[in-house]
Chain A
Amino acid sequence: MSVRVLNPNAEVLNKSAALHMTINAAKGLQDVLKSNLGPKGTIKMLVGGSGDIKLTKDGNTLLKEMQIQNPTAIMIARTAVAQDDISGDGTTSTVIFIGELMKQSERCIDEGMHPRVLVDGFEIAKRATLQFLENFKTPVVMGDEADKEILKMVARTTLRTKLYEGLADQLTDIVVNSVLCIRKPEEAIDLFMVEIMHMRHNFDVDTRLVEGLVLDHGSRHPDMKRRAENCHILTCNVSLEYEKSEINAGFFYSNAEQREAMVTAERRSVDERVKKIIELKKKVCGDNDNFVIINQKGIDPPSLDLLAREGIVALRRAKRRNMERLVLACGGEAVNSVDDLTPESLGWAGLVYEHVLGEEKYTFVEQVRNPNSCTILIKGPNDHTIAQIKDAVRDGLRSVKNTIEDECVVLGAGAFEVAARQHLINEVKKTVQGRAQLGVEAFANALLVVPKTLAENAGLDTQDVIISLTSEHDKGNVVGLNLQDGEPIDPQLAGIFDNYSVKRQLINAGPVIASQLLLVDEVIRAGRNMRKPTA
């Protein structure tokens, strides 16, 4: 470089150096995430800047927390995060699939192949695999009555890769039931209608599904009931506190009586609103009934006092999203003004009670009639357990939702990958002309990374496993890997199913990003060192 074209501090990587950097980065990232895959994967411990602990097996969480700097690794990580956004699962698979594609390409390139040819092969192979997936998937009918068994199997497959077995199996039922609970015919499933609440209490296996709602605050008055049965529930968004006027106003008075009058006048409008609610309470409540107000706005102490004297339980400053869920769970409607209160706008719950844990208060609204919203109450002895379960539950919910929407599933335990590979090698490769064949082959071999890694994490011999799996497939049996003993099993019998959309997204996104990376022949970073950011 006799003539400097660039900023003297800029760093340039070109030709094979650039390619190797990207390949190395992809392989490095693969190495990190590899041990996460599958039910036998291990846990990573992430320690934050302030010493807080996070334990995770979820690729997505890991990528988010790791703060990767390498440009290639960032690109791959973004694809993986996109995978999570779209399908809620399969981040680890995406990363290791891309890594493996790069690894296979490296071999070919070292032998003198041009990346462009490989990329062409990838494209052909990708299309063929997607077509194969369409034939390979197992359709499930999701009519009005969803097939619970299939949903459970899918949820279990997902959850077991995130948590240990016993807990995963328990969460399976919770996750499936909660999705079925909020499912409405003819409408897309809105997973936000499942509230996820956590309590630091008892053990992780005490996690349960509450058909109703759990709010993370309690009533603010010492004399209100802690437990009420047969409750009419008023969901409202009405301010029950004195609000100062926007303009700068002041009172003028010249004796104490006048001031007293001002004090009462100030409160009158608020008191009137409270009285209207009390009237409604008196109208609807018999001797055994109770009345609960859940307000999105505030309720000030004097109003609370008035309500408490009438035996009304009042909760203030509820979250907006909970107002929506409350209406779905208890019925009735959310009112925005107390002027048009009718008994019809009230919801109903069999039991409302408060649970106190140290400083925190929780209010349970349970025994509702037709819940269209529910709460998954996560319990665990410490924050990292809770965070782990929370991530898993979210993925579990997504997998159930995906299944209902896809109306089909794919056989898991590596069965699909092995079958797709056989298809590519035996059928597709022959139809391709010229050197692109090698690209197809590289793609096919890269698919095997999933069963390989599963075996590796379970402490099995990778080669043995692959050979026994492929030979079974050659015989025409679709089999997956049994992680307990390393023998082939029928995933259908074992109940191991993956999401169709996850696999589709994986096959779509992986090769695209790999191709892009392969076609990079120059990396320029202006001004800063690529490895050591200038301190």
Chain B
Amino acid sequence: MVGMSMQPYGIQSMLKEGYRHLSGLDEAVIKNIEACKELSTITRTSLGPNGMNKMVINHLDKLFVTSDAGTIVNELEIQHPAAKLLVLAAKAQQEEIGDGANLVISFAGELLQNAEELIRMGLHPSEIISGYTKAINKTVEILEQLVESGSQTMDVRNKDEVISRMRAAVASKQFGQEEIICSLVADACIQVCPKNPTNFNVDNVRVAKLLGGGLHNSCIVRGMVMKSDAVGSIKRMEKAKVAVFAGGVDTNATETKGTVLIHSAEQLENYAKTEEAKVEELIKAVAESGAKVIVSGGSIGEMALHFCERYKIMVLKISSKFELRRFCRTAGAVAHLKLSRPSPDDLGYVDSISVEEIGGVTVTIARNEEGGNSISTVVLRGSTDSILDDLERAVDDGVNTYKAMCRDSRIVPGAAATEIELAQRLKEYANAEIGLDKYAISKYAESFEFVPKTLADNSGLNAMEIIAALYTGHGSGNAKLGIDLEEGACKDVSETKVWDLFATKLFALKYASDAACTVLRVDQIIMAKPAGGPRRDAAAAAGAGAEED
């Protein structure tokens, strides 16, 4: 009872043990900025076509080798709350557009780094926020002016136009192989593009990864590729009608538990016979309807299989509900719940369905060249799992870009041309501004420089020279001057044909500024005691040990 008169004062004494409370500029704002900077330095080196790959080993000991920022930050399991805000922004970008996550994190990191300088200069975070907000509004305005004229409309079925818009996105993941991948992705996307392109569904382009071979062996299958074998002994069928049963191919069972009532041995024998007859009747009905392939979503009874073989019907099992739906779309079939005689309208059709062996993996390929098919599959070949995973991410980015261009086909110059132009025009805007916002806006403009700087750095070029050359070019009115990374010089992007989608850029910049402003707005952090304390410490210790190895 000694220290009673000296009650501790302040918030810390009021919280539960284990809670932490951080407040004020130095403790909260600057610390937050530092954490975000750390994060963006990690992702920054992966920006652009010459970006470096990261090797990330996640908590399940799975290895990722990638330069895709979305994957990196996902697997990193960021703990710091402020850095997590950036991660969330990147995830939002990934969900919304599917590309440009790196730009979000790196740009937000850059903005915060510049904000720190402003804070050290003596500006209040709220002034920086208002400046940044003005800047992003102006940026959006300028960005709209930079849209390449004539790009508002495009033919989403023209492969060349599609590739020109997709190339930059794919190249940033797989530089040097973008031509092959773009052509594959463009073909696949155009094939499944519905009448109204805005309804394009990313899910309709599937990716099948098969180990072995090389990227050059990759191809497009108009239909589906399933990594499974046919159930029966019939492995191949051409120009066949398909019946799809979602509930399984077997005898019908009641929901309530049923018991077979048998009084004598004779009855037992009869029961088995009636059962057999029933199944045969059902399978026969299916066969008579013209179906040559049965696809089942559930189990396939031994007896049913026997009769299928007898009636020369190929049997496939697809246990995933979604996969089954996709198959229905491929074949144009309507799934029946129970085994029954399908009506002719419900039957689907495939040109060929066959079991093949590619690189040691047994796959079933269903092809449907006719119209009405809405699924296409990109078969990727590669030598290792991680290469395949990385290729898949590049394909995903390509498909997402296709989706984005179906909605908004406008493009802006890529290869840092847009960024420099934005920086230049924003600086002019900042100079015209009066009041403290001016500083924040001009810092915002400066932040754009990190894009050409990083692109050049990652390619081993002299960043300062490049930026200077770009500014000179843009100053003399060439708004499309970008970096040609292969030659290490500045070139007009209409020659190098590096275009970025307007939507990707817009969303990325907006999300980045939003995240940066949110981080700046926080001046107090109250952290609860992490749940399950000791376990986490043990994991961290183990993690630290692993790093040393």
Contacts and interface: CB of A to CB of B under 8 A. Distances in A.
Contacts of B521: 42-43, 55, 164
B258 A245 contact: no
B337 interface: yes
Interface string B251-264: 11111111111110
Contact of B81 (A11, A40, A45, A204): A45
Interface in A23-51: 24-25, 27-29, 31-32, 35, 40, 42-51
A66 interface: yes
Interface string A364-389: 00000000000000000111110000
Interface in A300-334: 301-302, 305
Contacts of A382: 85, 88-89, 91-92
A185 interface: no
Nearest to A11: B1
Nearest to B531: A49
B16 A253 contact: no
Given A24-B9, A69-B14, A531-B8, A251 B254 contact: yes
Given A24-B9, A28-B10, A35-B524, A256 B274 contact: yes
Nearest to B255: A242
A378 B148 CA distance: 33
Interface residues of B, number: 72
B523 A35 contact: yes
Contact of B17 (A31, A250, A532): A532
B378 to A, nearest CB: 21
A259 interface: yes
- Give the most central of A249, A254, A532: most B CB within 10 Å: A254
B55 interface: no
A516 interface: no
B290 to A, nearest CB: 20
A45 B328 contact: no
Contacts of B84: 51, 53
Contacts of B28: 45
Contacts of A68: 14-15
Interface in B1-33: 1, 4-5, 7-11, 13-17, 19, 28
A200 B13 CA distance: 37
Interface in B70-102: 79, 81-82, 84-85, 88-89, 91-92, 95-96
Contact of A305 (B133, B337, B529): B337
Nearest to B329: A222
Contacts of B309: none
A253 B261 contact: yes
With most chain A CB atoms within 10 A of its CB, the pick from B15, B79, B251, B255 is B255
A187 interface: no
B522 interface: yes
Interface in B263-278: 263, 267, 270-271, 274-275, 277-278
Given A47-B528, A242-B255, A358 B278 contact: no
B526 A259 contact: no
Contacts of A31: 10-11
B275 A28 contact: no
Contact of B528 (A49, A73, A204): A49
B514 interface: yes
A338 interface: no
Contacts of B526: 44-47, 62, 65-66
A525 B1 CA distance: 12
B335 interface: yes
A17 interface: yes
A458 to B, nearest CB: 9
A263 B252 contact: yes
A212 to B, nearest CB: 22
A244 B522 contact: no
B334 to A, nearest CB: 6
Contacts of B254: 251, 259, 262-263, 266
A447 B57 CA distance: 58
B15 A67 contact: yes
A248 B304 CA distance: 31
A48 B528 contact: yes
Interface residues of A, number: 76
Contacts of B261: 252-254
Contacts of B271: 254-256
Contacts of B1: 11-12
B337 A47 contact: no
A192 interface: no
A21 interface: yes
B306 interface: no
Contact of B260 (A13, A24, A245, A254): A254
A203 B508 CA distance: 12
Nearest to B336: A305
Contacts of B133: 166
A260 interface: yes
A535 interface: yes
Given A43-B522, A45-B81, A24 B7 contact: yes
Interface string A225-265: 00000000000000000101100011111111101101100
Contacts of A357: 95
Contacts of A11: 1, 4
B81 A53 contact: yes
B16 A47 contact: no
B530 interface: yes
A55 B518 contact: yes
A381 B88 contact: yes
A2 B242 CA distance: 95
A459 B125 CA distance: 11
A532 B334 CA distance: 67
A184 to B, nearest CB: 39
A251 B258 contact: yes
A38 B524 CA distance: 16
B537 to A, nearest CB: 14
Contact of A256 (B7, B11, B82, B251): B251
A231 B133 CA distance: 43
Contacts of A166: 133
Interface in B457-505: none
Interface centre among A245, A249, A262, A357, by most chain B C-beta atoms within 10 angstroms, is: A262
A533 interface: yes
Contact of A249 (B16, B256, B523): B256
B255 A28 contact: no
A73 to B, nearest CB: 5
Interface string B324-363: 0100100000110110000000000000000000000000
Given A24-B7, A255-B270, A260 B252 contact: yes
Contacts of B5: 17, 20
A200 B4 contact: no
Nearest to A534: B17
Interface string B271-288: 100110110000000000
Nearest to A53: B81
B13 A70 contact: yes
B522 A45 contact: yes
Contacts of B527: 46-47
Nearest to B257: A250
B511 interface: yes
Given A49-B528, A49-B531, A257 B13 contact: no
Contact of B328 (A222, A245, A381): A222
Given A256-B275, A532-B17, A251 B257 contact: yes
Given A43-B521, A66-B14, 4 more contacts: A29-B14, A44-B525, A69-B15, A381-B96
List the 6 shortest-distance A-B pairs measured between CB atoms, nearest first.
A381-B92, A49-B531, A256-B278, A382-B88, A255-B274, A256-B274
30 contacts: A17-B7, A24-B7, A28-B14, A44-B525, A45-B525, A45-B526, A46-B527, A47-B526, A49-B528, A49-B531, A55-B522, A65-B526, A68-B15, A69-B16, A73-B14, A223-B334, A252-B259, A254-B261, A255-B270, A259-B258, A262-B258, A263-B252, A266-B254, A301-B246, A302-B337, A382-B85, A382-B92, A384-B88, A459-B124, A531-B13
